Amino acid sequence: MIHPRGQMMAGQRVLVTGAGSGLGRELALCYARRGDRVACVDLYADRADETVRLLPGGGHLALVADVGSDAAMAALKAQVMGAWSGLDVLVNNAGIACGGECARTSAAEWQRTININLMGVVRGVREFVPMMEAQGSGRVINVASFAGLAGAPGLGAYGVSKAGVVALSEGMRAELQPKGIHVSVLCPSFFKTNLLQSFQGENDVPLKHVAAKLMESSPINAADVARYTIEESERGRFLLLPHKDTRIRWWLKRWMPGLYFRELLRYVAKNTRKAG
């Protein structure tokens, strides 16, 4: 159901991938507190079950699926259709972190990162958006990263995968808005979460230390990002930038790219020294 002003009403059927921890769990909690039913999807059954146990209300689902698998996502769609006969909100959140210089990241790591971070979103879209089109309403939130808007050294494969999510979301927005389906893309910078548990990459130790420092020093956490994401998406915003400093950096990159690049180099050098 869509509110006349475009906001989704409480009591919706919501699916969140990567809901077993971190941002995904916080998103599930936020939706459940509003009175929504949430399908908590994770690669690990115990994590999905734990999230559901934390949710207020009833009617929630704990489901297991690998977003990197066509067959698993098709099976997930069948489970959701069997339980709910449709879907109102799709949050494509599941993803992994990786690092390494572009030329030194293995082909296998490039493929793994793109298969999960980009194609995992594509699979979610392919399986669940047709349900929304049949209903004539719905909301899709794709989780990307500020690295998908502004590339940074050491994040080549990750940034490319997230840039793909941004481009995908822009295309979806134009395709689906006339059909009554709203699309948002979330592009956070570093915040306190457990993303580094999945961090892999060639010579990744120095970069992982930098990322850990930036996460720890972030003024916001996963719960803050979750609340911002839901509120701003329901206000009709497409590009979601929860960090105030990234809004400034995004403006700078678009309007003063030379200055942005020089500041990027200084920023990376400073944080690399701090991590060391």
Q: What's the whole-number average pLDDT of the chain?
A: 88
Residue 3 pLDDT:
40
Among the listed residues 31, 158, 260, 267, the single catalytic one is 158
In a 13 Å sphere around the CA of 91, the CA atoms on its Cβ side amount to 29
Instruction: Tell the CATH topology of 13-204+220-247.
Output: Rossmann fold (3.40.50)
| CA–CA distance, 10 with 139 (Å, rounded to integer) | 13
Cut 0.85: pTM above it? yes
Q: What single-letter amino acid sits at 73?
A: M
d(CA 154, CA 272): 11
Per-domain residue ranges for the chain? 13-204+220-247
Would the pLDDT of 208 be above 70?
no
Is-catalytic flag, 44?
no
Are 1 and 9 in contact, with CB atoms under 8 Å apart?
A: yes
Please check whether residue 16 is in contact with residue 31, taking contact to mean a CB–CB distance below 8 angstroms: yes
Check residue 130 and give its pLDDT.
98
pLDDT at position 217: 56
**Per-residue confidence band for 167, with pLDDT thresholds at 50, 70 and 90:** very high
What token pair was written down for 106?
Answer: 């293995």
pLDDT on residue 124: 99
pLDDT tens digits, residue range 8-33?
456 999 999 999 999 999 999 999 99
pLDDT (0 to 100) of residue 4: 36
Instruction: Measure the CA–CA gap between 193 and 222, rounded to whole angstroms.
Output: 6
Residues 88-119 have pLDDT tens digits of: 999 999 999 888 889 999 999 999 999 999 99
